Amino acid sequence: MVLSQYGHNSHGEDIKVHPYPFLGSRQEVEHVNRYDRDGYTPLLSFVRIALAKQPPESEAFITSHITNLITLGANVNSRSRNGDSALHWAAQQRLPEVMECLIRAGANINATNDSGQRPIDYISQALQLELAGSATANILGQTLKCAVVLLDHDAESNISSQIEGSHGIRLEGRNGAKLTVARKASSS
C-alpha cells in the first residue's frame, strides 16, 4: 500500500498529506518509524499537523491516514520528546474515532507521558472543567464518548473527582473500569 503524498482534506482543499516525501517510495517501511529532527515519527507528525489545522481535519480524514501509516508499519506507541503518544493528543482534542482507531491498532491506553498523564487523565480533567463550567452539549458529548472508548478498553482509572456546584457523573466500561466525577457536597 502506498500513502499518497497529496490528497484532499475534509474541506475539499488540495493538501500535502504528509511532510515526508519518502513515504510511498520503496523505502517506506524502513523510514515509517524514524524520528525527524523535531522528534516526531511520520505518525506523530501527521497527527500533530492534522490537529493543529483550523478548523481541524475531520476524524474520518485523520483515521484514514493513520490507518495507511499503520499498514506501512508505523508504531502507534511512538512518543514525542515529552512522552506524548498520538493517543494522548487524540484524548486532549477529544476525538473518539481517532482514539478507537489507535487503540484497535495496539496503542497503550495506560501509557504515561513525562508529566505522568495518561489519556484517561486528560479526559477526566476535561470532564471536570466542562461540568464545572458551561460547556455545550456537543463538547460534553465528545468528551463522554472519549471516556467511554477508554473505559471500554479497560483504561485504568481510579479517578474520583469532586466539582463544586456541578452535576455528578459516573461512567463504567464494559469490563468494570470506572470514572467518577461527583458533585461536591455543599457546606451549609
Residue 188 domain flag: no
Over residues 53-106, the pLDDT tens digits come to 888 788 999 999 999 999 989 999 999 999 999 999 999 999 999 999 999 999
Grid cell 490528497 in the structure block, residue: 7
In a domain, 148, yes or no: yes
Query: Is the CB of residue 127 less than 8 Å from the CB of residue 169?
Result: yes
Q: How many domains does the chain have?
A: 1
Position 174 in a domain: yes
- Domain CATH number, residue 126: 1.25.40.20
Helix (H) or strand (E) holding 28: helix 28-31
**Domain residue limits at 108:** 6-182
pTM of the full predicted structure? 0.74
Q: What are the tens digits of pLDDT across the range 125-167?
A: 888 787 777 778 888 889 889 988 988 887 776 554 444 444 5
CB 65 within 8 A of CB 57: no
